[in-house]
Structure 1
Amino acid sequence: MGYQPTCNRARGRLKTAQQQNIDKQILCLHHAMAEKLIANHHYLSQIIETIEARYECGRMRYGAYLFWSSLLEHIEQPTLFMDTLLEDSPQLRAYRRQTPLVGILTEQERQIALEKIMQT
């Protein structure tokens, strides 16, 4: 019986390690997406449409809607935009997991961004 809680704790640590790895990958992808978005504002309308569509159909909560909408208003301030998007907090990790920044990176750009993780 004493072994089972240890097993559960080990399983919990494994899940946490997996989640941390996923969060690291998502963070790296968001860094690449943000750089591309800052350089190419023509993606903004696509992202705004995604945010609006997700919110209207109930796939995005109001807090996330406000976050993403207000973040995009700061695209002309690259440092603020990047710092906010890449903030290491539980809330921002959750927002990034449901990102509306889709369709910005090509598959090749995505692979290059993920390869950077392997080098660190």
Structure 2
Amino acid sequence: MFTRPKRQKQVIIDRQIHHLHQVMADKCLSQPDYFTAIQVNLNQRYEEKMISYGSYLLWQGILEARDDPDIFRRLLLANDSRTKALRRKTIFTGVLTEAEREEALTTYIASEMA
């Protein structure tokens, strides 16, 4: 049986999460009402001490950039370790339906196999 090293598994998971956030960014930018729920989610997680003040500020900065789609995408989809960690505990829950999430992952897997 072939098992992947832990680091390789983490890289694959980060790529999947990155792709999901690309899809969520597109949906939110095309339907800005989602940003209200996302902001509520961010505030709630901070108030419940589920995220640190630093993470709160980073997420807030990303959300504030939504009026400039290019900057918003660049911030949300950055490949630095801090942003990767943020995306692993995303505040964008509820944006995608289960069917949309499955379709996004299927698209991601197909792109990796091409």
Q: Same fold, TM exceeding 0.5? A: yes
Gaps of 5+ in 2: none
Task: Tell me which residue corresponds to 1:53.
Answer: 44
Matched, 1:20 2:11: yes
DSSP-derived class of the 2:67 partner: coil
Task: Give how far 1:96 is off.
Answer: 0.3
Task: Give how far 1:57 is off.
Answer: 1.0
CA distance in 2, matches of 1:45, 1:38: 12
Question: What TM-score comes out, normalization by structure 2 length?
Answer: 0.91
Q: Percent identity?
A: 37
- Equivalent pairs, count: 109
Greater Rg, structure 1 or structure 2? Answer: 1
Matched, 1:115 2:106: yes
CA distance in 2, matches of 1:110, 1:21: 16
Give, as a single letter, the amino acid of the residue that structure 2 aligns with 1:52: N
Task: Tell me which residue corresponds to 2:92.
Answer: 101
DSSP-derived class of the 2:65 partner: coil
Task: Tell me which residue corresponds to 2:70.
Answer: 79
Over the aligned positions, Cα root-mean-square deviation in angstroms equals 1.3
Task: Give how far 1:15 is off.
Answer: 0.3
Residue number among 52, 59, 73 corresponding to 1:68 in the alignment: 59
Task: Give how far 1:70 is off.
Answer: 1.6
Task: Tell me which residue corresponds to 1:35.
Answer: 26
Task: Give how far 1:45 is off.
Answer: 1.3
C-alpha deviations, 1:9-46, integer Å up to 9, x for none?
A: xx8x7000110111011001000000000111111111
Residue number among 83, 89, 99 corresponding to 1:92 in the alignment: 83
Give, as a single letter, the amino acid of the residue that structure 1 aligns with 2:90: T
Task: Give how far 1:51 is off.
Answer: 0.6
C-alpha deviations, 1:54-93, integer Å up to 9, x for none?
A: 1011101111100111211111100110011111111010
Question: What TM-score comes out, normalization by structure 1 length?
Answer: 0.87
CA distance in 2, matches of 1:40, 1:117: 22
Consecutive aligned runs of 4 or more in structure 1 exceeding 3 Å deviation: none
